[in-house]
Structure 1
Amino acid sequence: MKHLLKYLFVCFVCAVNMSVMAQPVADVKGQVKCQGKGLSNVVVTNGFDCVLTDAEGRYALPYHRDARFVYVTTPAGYLPQREKSLPHYYKRIESSVGSYDFTLTKNPKNDNKHICLVQSDVQAAKASDIEGYVKYLKDVRQFVDKQKSSDIFVLDCGDIVGNAPAIFPSYIQSSDVLDLPFYRAVGNHDMEYGVRSYEHSYKTFEEYFGPIYYSFNRGKAHYIVLNNCFYINRHYRYIGYIDERTLQWIEKDLSFVPKDHLVFVTMHIPTSSTKELKFNALLPDETSNASSIYDLLAGYDAHIFTGHTHYNWNVVFNDKLMEHNTAAVCGTFWKAEICTDGTPSGYGVYEVNGNQVTWKYKSAGYPLDYQFKGYPVGSSEENPQDIIANVWNWDEQWKVEWYENGKCMGEMQRFEGYDPEAKIICSDKERMVYDWIMPIKTEHLFKATPQDKNAAIEVVVTDRFGNVYKQNIK
């Protein structure tokens, strides 16, 4: 009898537990409002599922055990609340919270026309690096102050710090001076190293900046920010890779975006430096499964913003897809104000009007029309008889011509080589400190051989939008 009672008690406990387990876990729900009224048709996500708010602005997302945040894809015409440079479009999921409500504000400016500033690789590792970042931000502030009527925000392509999470607060405080929203991507130097898996590598970043992938809208443009730094925990290694969870979310996110809208994707590691993807690649400097993101973007006019390489380079994959790899804010690792390809420290300026976009690269400390640097005969060790032009934001639709004593001599020849100034700077090992800092070859160099080395030389560069830039080579 004793054993029978024990058996019945165990059965009862199991039945109760099974009943509890069978109960559906509560949805993650809430309301999206503006000025006290619910907003309909706003996309809300937990990083796995995406839903639209109803007529009263209410939503309900199915419970997902791995979801850490619930967040809003801010619709055109609205802004999330923010604390200086930190937009508050997300809330951390906690068992004690019953409703996750969001309050948006109407954008006081016309976001159909807006300006997106793209920066990358601040890579601050110590206090002196933050001082360099503050100096750089003075240039950004001057640019922004001239655009007071425009809707402006910043996209940061990652490597905010240099393996120094303790610097995050200083970086945030410095960025706050612009009083603009910053939308940030994870860089490989922003990850937590020494953890056991990829899923733990971005936890510190999340504590400061929220979800590692998300989206928002401005006018007829849709912006997606991703993490493609896949930590593999072998000698602190990583590859460029977008995991399946993220790809599935992108597919759901894009299902709400009309095909006539522009799409901009921001992440740290480039997808590819060439039009043709490299074969059998597990790469730390390119995205191994880049074709997956290309497939998802098919049918949209799309642009990809990346950093990581510390040089400037554009890849036109086709007439609807282009990648802009942006040079480093830190220049040559805060040892010089140009990068190892000769591109000055700076940022991309993208002006969006409806579903059209134009862009320039803004060199910090220079006027916006400073789009290339010319070098006289004798500057290049590899091409001592030639004048050289470094046109850092070049793509196939640009034209680079030269004049000798006022006569047009035609287009300059593009070649792969070293920027003369970058080569000199990197050879100064005392200044560079680190032996591994080296100049890199770039393909945005142009050369021509004057008939008279003492002639008056002028280089004339025309960008894809018809803007003309001139420089006398002395």
Structure 2
Amino acid sequence: MRFSVWSGCIIAALSIGSLPDNDSLSAAERSNAAEPSQPLKLLLKEMPKPRYNTPVPSLVTGRVVVQSPGKTSGVSGVSVSDGYSVVKTDSRGTYSLKPDPRAVFINVTRPAGYDVQGNWYQPLAQEVNFELQSSSEDENEFVFIHVTDTHVSSNPRSLQGLIRFVREVNGLTPPPRFVVNSGDLLNLHKALLGTPGQGHAAFRNYVGIMNHLSIPHYNVAGDHTDSCYRLDEFPRGDPRCAKPLYWEYLGPNFFSFEYGKIHFVSVDYGYHLGQRKLKVNGRLLDYPTLQVQPMHIKWLQQDLQQRSPGTFGVTTSEHDLVEYCPGFHQIAEQHDVRLQLVGDDHIVTHKTSPVPYRTRGALAGCWWNPKANQLCPDLSPQGYLIYHVSGEQMDCFYKGLGQRIAIVWHRYGAPLTGQEKIQAYLVQPRSGESLEFSVNGEDWQPMQEIGKPFYRTLYSATVDTRGLPEGMMTFQVRSTATDEVRKRTLVVMNGGSPSPATRAQN
């Protein structure tokens, strides 16, 4: 397995995801973090829906074609799936597939270099065709967004972060190519409490806001997106239980797509099988079984095996599939899966083995607790990861929602001795904008520009700590064009005696 290409991404995201000094947030910072987003009118589109009461055909046939002036040509080697098995189109672009009796959709895997015209999935029928169009974008180098844990509900507070996210992403230049949301899109109850109407309202809010994105968004089903809708038709014990509402708004809960040299696979690991009962507040509730089931492990193996030559795998799921998908380590080794994009934990973290994964905090932060001040449990700001891909190399950084400045070195609470370099970046600086720093909140000095990684300008400042009191000090960075200020508490340790203020704090 070749995991080395990801080391740059892991190191970069770790340094940038270091903890903020929330206790010393300025008034401007607090205003910036808490400022409510202006509402967006829900933008709802008519999407393909399952034909619930129609018998599953014994065979589905169709063609994947590309249109050119005066000519329709079949596209060979394209994967088509029902979520249980995967087939490839032949030299004429035709395919035939025997659908599983439990299947509800037929979907096409977007091949690199093409865009799907119309919908990439359709309800089961005896004939299902798809049309592609050659992409005009360079797919060797591109940017995409990884967001997770949006936790949308009918509570207005739950919508503010998502609205701001959509506006921020639409404002990035050059624009990212797509967004991947790796789970907990909604805040529905895991034990399927509530009503179908509440589920519809949450999905309408999420989809209606995300549809304002100027780029495609791909989503992962998870335990907080499961709903009691159509429980009579798909009761507990049926692996499709609680999924119909997701299908109706977002489509298949197992699918893949390709972009550049990456084959992305979306995996749902939650099943309401009636096998996991938990006592909550004196009530015995049915919670989902969190383990990918055998028929979908088989699908995952087939999907990865059928990926286009020269591509490698990246999975998107709510949690680490090494823990929740039996045999995933071996599948990843066999099919060159190099990274998992996951969520659920609401922290910025990563794991490098056996199959690397990255968790990117949570866009929601902890909105249900106003005292959390839009922070995640590890004190990272609510936010998202931005990935830059060049060939097989990937780099990324964590962007706080509503924030353009981040101190990336040193970490929170780091000891400083002698002369120390401290670094910060500014996202998409405006004309003439730069960064300044201060160690006392009064005397501001310019920081030195030292690099321009994607979407950012990186700055450095040298601080001579020998002239500072021993103990805690606050390093501040501000923009020359806005009122945004970021702070980091560090510790001066030159071997002298702590200042009276520091002794008093101790």
Give the secondary-structure state (helix, strand or coil) at the position aligned to 2:357.
strand
Distance 2:218 2:129 in 1: 21
| 2:272 equivalent in structure 1 | 231
Change (3 A) 1:136 1:47: closer
Change (3 A) 1:405 1:242: same
Change (3 A) 1:368 1:238: farther
Letter in 2 for 1:338: L
Shift in Å, 1:231: 2.7
Aligned pair partner of 1:111 in 136, 139, 143: 139
Unaligned runs of 5+ in 1: 1-23, 83-87, 273-286, 376-387, 390-401, 410-448, 460-468
Shift in Å, 1:243: 0.9
Give the secondary-structure state (helix, strand or coil) at the position aligned to 1:104.
strand
| 2:221 equivalent in structure 1 | 186
Q: Check conservation: 1:223, 1:265, Cα contact below 8 A.
A: yes
Change (3 A) 1:373 1:344: farther
Q: Check conservation: 2:472, 2:490, Cα contact below 8 A.
A: no
Aligned pair partner of 1:325 in 359, 364, 378: 359
Shift in Å, 1:407: 5.1
Shift in Å, 1:154: 0.6
Aligned pair partner of 1:175 in 210, 215, 218: 210
Q: Check conservation: 1:160, 1:189, Cα contact below 8 A.
A: yes
Residue 227 of structure 2 is aligned to residue 199 of structure 1: no
Shift in Å, 1:270: 3.1
| 1:45 equivalent in structure 2 | 81
Distance 2:142 2:167 in 1: 21
- Listed one character per residue, the Cα deviations across residues 69-98 of structure 1 (whole Å, up to 9, x for unaligned) are 11111111011235xxxxx211111xxx44
Q: Check conservation: 2:154, 2:205, Cα contact below 8 A.
A: no
Aligned pair partner of 1:363 in 385, 396, 400: 400
Alignment of 1:55-66 (within 5 A): 55-66=91-102
Distance 1:183 1:229 in 2: 18
| 2:443 equivalent in structure 1 | none
Regions of 4+ moved over 4 Å: 368-375, 449-452, 454-459, 469-474
Shift in Å, 1:116: 2.0
The two structures have a TM-score, normalised by structure 1, of: 0.67
Distance 2:309 2:103 in 1: 29
Q: Check conservation: 2:416, 2:490, Cα contact below 8 A.
A: no
Shift in Å, 1:240: 2.6
Give the secondary-structure state (helix, strand or coil) at the position aligned to 1:237.
strand
Change (3 A) 1:456 1:237: closer
Change (3 A) 1:358 1:236: same
| 1:220 equivalent in structure 2 | 261
Alignment of 1:147-166 (within 5 A): 147-148=174-175, 152-163=177-188, 164-165=198-199, 166=201
Q: Check conservation: 1:114, 1:351, Cα contact below 8 A.
A: yes
Q: Check conservation: 2:150, 2:185, Cα contact below 8 A.
A: yes
Change (3 A) 1:473 1:305: same
Letter in 2 for 1:323: Y
Shift in Å, 1:261: 2.7
Letter in 2 for 1:106: S
Letter in 2 for 1:29: T
Q: Check conservation: 2:178, 2:217, Cα contact below 8 A.
A: yes
| 1:453 equivalent in structure 2 | 470
Distance 1:455 1:404 in 2: 12
Give the secondary-structure state (helix, strand or coil) at the position aligned to 1:188.
coil
Aligned pair partner of 1:261 in 304, 307, 311: 311
Q: Check conservation: 1:190, 1:205, Cα contact below 8 A.
A: yes
Change (3 A) 1:372 1:245: farther
Change (3 A) 1:111 1:61: same
Q: Check conservation: 1:260, 1:355, Cα contact below 8 A.
A: no
Shift in Å, 1:174: 0.9
| 1:434 equivalent in structure 2 | none
Distance 1:169 1:310 in 2: 23
Letter in 2 for 1:58: T
Distance 2:205 2:133 in 1: 28
Distance 1:141 1:122 in 2: 17
Distance 2:411 2:303 in 1: 45
| 1:298 equivalent in structure 2 | 333
Distance 2:333 2:487 in 1: 37
Distance 1:232 1:372 in 2: 47
- Listed one character per residue, the Cα deviations across residues 165-193 of structure 1 (whole Å, up to 9, x for unaligned) are 22211211211222211110112110024
Change (3 A) 1:456 1:49: closer
Distance 1:125 1:73 in 2: 30
Residue 292 of structure 2 is aligned to residue 242 of structure 1: yes
Distance 2:108 2:182 in 1: 21
- Listed one character per residue, the Cα deviations across residues 114-162 of structure 1 (whole Å, up to 9, x for unaligned) are 222111111112241223321233222233xx113x5x10101121111
Distance 2:313 2:206 in 1: 28
Distance 1:90 1:192 in 2: 21
Residue 150 of structure 2 is aligned to residue 122 of structure 1: yes
Distance 1:257 1:224 in 2: 10
Alignment of 1:300-319 (within 5 A): 300-318=336-354
Distance 1:28 1:472 in 2: 62
Q: Check conservation: 2:142, 2:390, Cα contact below 8 A.
A: yes
Residue 116 of structure 2 is aligned to residue 80 of structure 1: yes
Aligned pair partner of 1:90 in 117, 121, 126: 121
Letter in 2 for 1:107: S
- Listed one character per residue, the Cα deviations across residues 406-446 of structure 1 (whole Å, up to 9, x for unaligned) are 1589xxxxxxxxxxxxxxxxxxxxxxxxxxxxxxxxxxxxx
Distance 2:328 2:302 in 1: 13
Letter in 2 for 1:153: F
Distance 1:91 1:134 in 2: 29
Distance 1:342 1:362 in 2: 14
- Bigger RCO (CA 8 Å, 6+ sep): 2
Distance 2:270 2:58 in 1: 33
Q: Check conservation: 2:114, 2:134, Cα contact below 8 A.
A: yes
How many pairs align? 350
Distance 1:408 1:249 in 2: 51
Give the secondary-structure state (helix, strand or coil) at the position aligned to 1:55.
coil
| 2:479 equivalent in structure 1 | none
Distance 1:295 1:137 in 2: 37
